[in-house]
Amino acid sequence: MENNELLKQVTSKAKTWLTDYYDAQTQKEVQAMLDSSDTVPLIDAFYKDLEFGTGGLRGIMGTGSNRMNKYTVGAATQGLANYLLKEFSTLKEIKVVIGHDCRHNSKEFSQIVADILSANGIKAILFKDLRPVPEVSYSVRKLGCQSGIMITASHNPKQYNGYKVYWNDGAQVVPPHDKNIIAEVNRVSVDKINFNANKNLIETLDESIDDMFINDLKTIMLSPDSIKRHSDIGIVYTPIHGTGFTVVPKALKACGFTNIINVPEQDVISGDFPTVKSPNPEDPAAMAMAVQKAIETNADLVFATDPDADRFGAGIRNDKGEFILLNGNQTMLILIYYIITRKKELGQLTGKEYTVRTIVTSMLTQVVSEKNGVEMFECYTGFKWIAAIMRDLEGKRKYIGGGEESYGFLAEDFVRDKDSISAAILFGEIAAWVRDNGKTLYELLLDIYIEYGFSKEKGVSITKEGLTGAQEIEAMMKNFREKPLENIAGSKVVLIKDYATLKAHDINLGEIYTLEMPTTSNVLQYYTADKTKISIRPSGTEPKIKFYIEVNDKLNSRSDFEKVNEVADKKIELICKNLGI
């Protein structure tokens, strides 16, 4: 689209925000954008409407149709309300639970959501204060709600906020509900948003729901006696200024851990995330203060959760006593291995159990599952797809764990989103269990590599902001499709999977076959002869294009680890050069 035509369109759209349906401050900010000689802020604010991605509605806070504000939140809520009233028209009462994180405007947005739902005759159950994503998912099921809403932008930078929608199973919405909700939202004009709250239909949740949640989490424990023997394991925990502060320490103590060490500077609840550049445990810098605290206190473990406490990061000591930070694949690998191993030891595997991983997560988790007779299912990125498999198999088979490389894991089936709290409980339990077995967590990880194969993973994200950034990402994806790589790091590409077309090309056999997935997705994967896997996809929640690299090798002994790891690092470096990233 030519710039003049685009500017004409966004100008026309922006002028619709200069009516009395919008408050005076909003009109003032829109007019300032219209009057400015710099048209980029106007275009970025109005060139599109916020859409649901893998994590729901998410965007920069501010004025405009492409921003998080009371009107885009209002339209989303009114559209959701309209859809709920249609879908559950036979119910006497429709209930929606609403949570929020620590971000600027999160509490205000959650109140606006409650007001609009109640104005439409829907009971709004509002958390009294900030709470983690998994507790909101849990509450949808526990309280018999038809939907749930979490105001959060997860680990995004401080200028972002977001809006996650959950269905009556406690999972984020998937087709057809997501598309149907979007259709309803798109039909909502600002004059149709009912902001007039019915206070009689707004209920506030107190702390008793925390106790219910923690009591249910205690049921997933597999080695409580190990915790009793090693209750003093030193665990440094940081919520990185977010919601985990409200539940994680309390849950760990309830499960028997007595030596929880906090990071006071990061216990401060703040949407500015003052001690970090990025409030994401994937970023080593976000865990630096916790690691330093662990060194000072001679602690054994470092745990971190992101602001809405669905992501879990862990640090362990290596064979030299130094702290190393595990990536999401390693954390999931240890958790999957432990759950299966312990359930085997306890005689709890019946043959109906299953695990789940996303298509960009390490294939080694699948090797561990399947070699132990546990089927592992594969799904798209985003925990809503893991939850969709859980929904399909509910009552038929037993879910025992699943996750994704982006620091997300879920051990229990009474929550339907990634859960850092249960991951923290289990990871602490594993530390106690390996002590009983005369090992360290580091030695356990190496022993898993020796038994099942070594893999090393690296994720690379390239940020491209605004309309021009979106266009650049689209061009990059197009180039990788139209000019596919034939060799990567000296190994021949033997298989290409394109989830946008649901077609896979087996190059050796010269065959094209169909990928069995519930819908299409903008993901491209390369597989090479030496079992390297590379996945490329635009993020559904951030202005980024993401590359996921996984290389494989054989580890014969613990003493060979550093050498094998170094070879993998060099290979990944070469792959990045081949990809131009």
CB count, 10 Å around CB of 451? 12
Looking at residue 52, its pLDDT comes to 65
The predicted model gives 131-158 an average pLDDT of 96
What is the phi-psi region of residue 125: left when phi exceeds 0, alpha when psi lies from -120 to 50, beta otherwise? beta
What is the rounded distance in angstroms from the CA atom of residue 424 to the CA atom of residue 264?
19
pLDDT-derived band at 186, boundaries 50, 70, 90: confident
**Structure token digits, residue 255:** 């499960």
What is the rounded distance in angstroms from the CA atom of residue 99 to the CA atom of residue 461?
29
Looking at residue 53, its pLDDT comes to 57
CB count, 10 Å around CB of 20? 8
pLDDT at residue 290 is higher than 70: yes
Rounded (5°) CA angle 308-294-224: 70
The predicted model gives 343-352 an average pLDDT of 97
Q: Which residue has the tokens 């429709």?
A: 94
What is the rounded distance in angstroms from the CA atom of residue 110 to the CA atom of residue 122?
15
Which H or E run contains 454?
strand 454-463
Of 168-172, 177-181, 250-254, 322-326, the range with the lowest mean pLDDT is 177-181
Among residues 246, 88, 66, which one has the least CA distance to residue 167? 88
Contact 538, 481 (CB under 8 A): no
Looking at residue 333, its pLDDT comes to 98
The predicted model gives 208-224 an average pLDDT of 98
Classified as helix, coil or strand, 164 is strand
The topology under which CATH files domain 213-452 is Alpha-D-Glucose-1,6-Bisphosphate; Chain A, domain 3 (3.40.120)
pLDDT at residue 51 is higher than 80: no
Looking at residue 535, its pLDDT comes to 97
For the chain, what is the largest distance between any 2 Cα atoms, rounded to a whole number of angstroms? 72
pLDDT at residue 541 is higher than 80: no
Mean pLDDT of the chain: 95
Contact 242, 308 (CB under 8 A): yes
Among 3.30.310, 3.30.450, 3.30.720, 3.30.410, what is the CATH number of 454-579?
Answer: 3.30.310
Contact 445, 249 (CB under 8 A): no
Alpha helices by DSSP H, 437-542:
441-452, 466-482
Superfamily of domain 48-206: Alpha-D-Glucose-1,6-Bisphosphate, subunit A, domain 3 (3.40.120.10)
Among residues 118, 139, 154, 406, which one is catalytic?
154
Q: Which long-range contacts (CB under 8 A, 24 or more apart) does 25-30 make?
A: 26/63, 26/69, 26/71, 29/62, 29/63, 30/63, 30/64
Please indicate whether the domains covering 48-206 and 213-452 agree at the CATH topology level: yes
Q: How far is CA 439 from the centre of its chain?
A: 31
Domain limits, the chain: 48-206, 213-452, 454-579
pLDDT tens by residue, 383-414: 999 999 999 999 999 999 999 999 999 999 99
pLDDT-derived band at 56, boundaries 50, 70, 90: low
Contact 309, 317 (CB under 8 A): no
Alpha helices by DSSP H, 383-455:
383-393, 420-436, 441-452
pLDDT-derived band at 1, boundaries 50, 70, 90: very low
The predicted model gives 63-91 an average pLDDT of 96
pLDDT tens by residue, 102-125: 999 999 999 999 999 999 999 999
Looking at residue 504, its pLDDT comes to 98
pLDDT tens by residue, 245-257: 999 999 999 999 9
pLDDT at residue 55 is higher than 70: no
pLDDT-derived band at 159, boundaries 50, 70, 90: very high
Percentage of the chain surpassing pLDDT 90? 92
pLDDT at residue 2 is higher than 70: no
Contact 403, 359 (CB under 8 A): no
Classified as helix, coil or strand, 546 is strand
Contact 286, 407 (CB under 8 A): no
Contact 78, 120 (CB under 8 A): yes
Contact 132, 246 (CB under 8 A): yes
Report the predicted TM-score, pTM, of the whole model to 2 decimal places: 0.94
pLDDT higher for 185 or 309? 309
Query: Is residue 154 flagged as an active site residue?
Result: yes
Q: What angle do the packed helices 328-345 and 441-452 form, to 10 degrees? A: 80
**Structure token digits, residue 365:** 């988790």
The predicted model gives 526-552 an average pLDDT of 92
